[in-house]
Amino acid sequence: MRLIIGLICIFISLWINATLKSNFRQWALSPLPRPEVARLLSGEFTALGSDYFLMKAAIFYGGEEGLTKAESLWLSKALYLTSYLDPYYFEPYWMAGSILPWEGRIQEAKNILKQGLIYLPQNWQIPFYLGFVSFYFEKNYKEAARYFLRASKLPGAPSYLPLLAARLAVKGNETKMAIIFLQEQLKRFKDIKIRTQLEKRLNTLKIILFLEEAVKKYQQRYRRLPSDLNELVDKKIIPALPLDPYGGRFYLTKEGRVWSTSNLR
């Protein structure tokens, strides 16, 4: 019911903006009220207000690719506002954990998710998201292991989480972990535009994993890292360098990891 009411509010807002000939992008990025003010204005309808700002954030993100710093900051504030108005609503935590870290808003994502630990303590996905952010973006393996272990003890958690937590003492496998994470998120996302962006990121990570496996084969054969990824082609380990779906160029880091100049954005 709250979803239907929220959609009605969105359509009314769009109609008003169309009538005033204002740009949809300007509407999507319009200034957000302070959380305390939004709660006061919402009165008894804080859940409805939470729906409104979440759908506004989802519509904006689903229509954009490669956010600017200002846009990613707006998105993080919108998701915080959504969770502030209804801290028992899981969707803003899910979006914060799935989107904000990839847009460079790591601390903002963690702040929102930590609130989720308080209000939704039985939801395994919230510590799972925190564990992934700690592992993949911060390389804080001990903290990640604690979050994954916490998630593994909650109802509905995947059976692989305890083993994953145990293996975090060993560095590496960041790409495989990111693929597992995105595959888990795609089980929940129904919005076609957002799914398209997540699937694009997932496919790019699979290409990166393919290249990292090729680098390992090169190391096993020549007892050293290749000077660059072109050597993988020259030595016929792979037939050609794949293209980055984001339009960037894949390269080899000093640590032997594969990444892209596009930063997957």
DSSP annotation of 102 reads: G
Average pLDDT value over all residues in the chain: 82
Q: Which residue has the tokens 């992008």?
A: 25
Q: Is the pLDDT of residue 122 over 80?
A: yes
Where exactly are the structural domains of the chain? Answer: 1-93, 176-265
209 vs 186, residue with greater confidence: 209
Which whole-number Å values give the CA distances from 258 to 182, 224, 225, 245, 262, in the listed order? Answer: 18, 15, 12, 15, 12
Q: Is the pLDDT of residue 26 over 70?
A: no
Q: Is the pLDDT of residue 11 over 80?
A: no
Q: Is the pLDDT of residue 239 over 80?
A: yes
**pLDDT for the residue 12:** 46
Q: Which residue has the tokens 């803003």?
A: 92
- Quick one: angle between helices 35-42 and 46-62, nearest 10? 130
Question: Do 90 and 106 meet the contact criterion of CB atoms below 8 Å apart?
Answer: no
In a 3-state reduction of DSSP, which class is residue 258? strand
Range 3-32 burial, b when 16+ CB lie within 10 A, else e: eeebeebbeeeeeebeeeeeeeeebbbeeb
Q: Which of 191, 182, 185 is nearest to 264 (CA)?
A: 182
Tell me yes or no: is domain 176-265 CATH 3.30.700.
yes
pTM check: above 0.85? no
Give the Cα separation of 179 and 165 in Å (integer): 16
Q: Is the pLDDT of residue 10 over 50?
A: no
**pLDDT for the residue 4:** 52
Question: Which range, 16-20, 23-27, 103-107, 252-256, is most confident?
Answer: 103-107
Give the Cα separation of 117 and 135 in Å (integer): 18
**pLDDT for the residue 231:** 94
Question: What tens digit of pLDDT does each residue of 146-175 get?
Answer: 898 899 889 998 877 776 666 665 555 678
